Amino acid sequence: DSGVTQTPKHLITATGQRVTLRCSPRSGDLSVYWYQQSLDQGLQFLIQYYNGEERAKGNILERFSAQQFPDLHSELNLSSLELGDSALYFCASSGGLDTQYFGPGTRLTVL
Amino acid sequence: GENVEQHPSTLSVQEGDSAVIKCTYSDSASNYFPWYKQELGKRPQLIIDIRSNVGEKKDQRIAVTLNKTAKHFSLHITETQPEDSAVYFCAASIDSNYQLIWGAGTKLIIKP
């Protein structure tokens, strides 16, 4: 157990809908990272937050947004969902050093 | 920006043999190189990492070597076992932004 929690574990929704994925970092970690992993693919970096502020952006679609709250938990919002958005979404956290610890992921299925 | 290339994409070895996965990076300022193991449907887990002030690091059957001049680092697994079957990802980062740049992954298959 990495100490990073993600909810929900699974999410099934329809095209055009909006969903919110939640992540709680390890105690004391200030950085949160979001990744998308499609079937049999690598880790696609989406966005990083550090102590509430956006720090880096990867290949995140405009339909996706994220935020980090004062208690350091983070939410990833996915809207106008398409079939291709079906994937595993991982959150990771770090305490300022480079090592990232991953949560168990949320499996999103868009039908 | 930084780019990390990982080879091979698939590696099949006989149980008990050694496996080597290699990554090259482009930014000479990179100074942290972790390796993650991801089993099917599970989270990536850190298995070993190395910083640029060290040339080699070992942890039981796993070792990582770093060649800063050639800008490549490698994961070595000795006496492979069935539970080593997984996808392995390398990454590189620079201290200034704590963002990892990832390799594409290597699927390691251990044949019985």
Alpha carbon distance A14, A75 (integer Å)? 20
**Chain mean position to CA B93:** 13
Residues of chain A with C-beta less than 8 angstroms from the C-beta of B86: none
How many residues would you count in chain B? 112
Q: Under the phi-then-psi rule, with left for phi > 0, alpha for psi from -120 to 50, and beta for the rest, what region is B105?
A: left
The pLDDT assigned to B96 comes to 63
Nearest residue on chain B to A10, alpha-carbon basis: B41
- How sure is the predictor about A99, in pLDDT bands with cuts at 50, 70 and 90? confident
The answer, for B45 touching chain A at a CB cutoff of 8 Å, is yes
The partner residues of A19 in beta bridges, in order of sequence, read: A78
Low-confidence ranges of chain B (pLDDT < 70): 95-97
Q: Who among B34, B43, B100 is closest to A90 (CB)?
A: B43
User: How many CA atoms lie within 13 Å of A11's alpha carbon, on the beta-carbon side?
Assistant: 26
Answer yes or no: is pLDDT of A97 > 80: no
Q: Which of B32, B31, B63 is nearest to B47 (CA)?
A: B63
The pLDDT assigned to A40 comes to 79
**Rg of chain A over CA atoms, in angstroms?**
13
For residue A29, report the phi and psi dihedrals to the nearest 5 degrees.
-75, 135
The pLDDT assigned to A2 comes to 83
Count Cβ atoms below 10 Å from residue B1 Cβ, excluding itself. Answer: 7
Q: Who among A43, A96, A98 is closest to B44 (CB)?
A: A43
How many residues would you count in chain A? 111
Alpha carbon distance A53, A68 (integer Å)? 7
| Residues A43, B46: C-beta atoms closer than 8 Å | no
pLDDT digits (tens, 9 = 90+) for A24-80: 999 999 999 999 999 878 999 999 999 999 998 998 999 999 999 999 999 999 999
The pLDDT assigned to B95 comes to 64
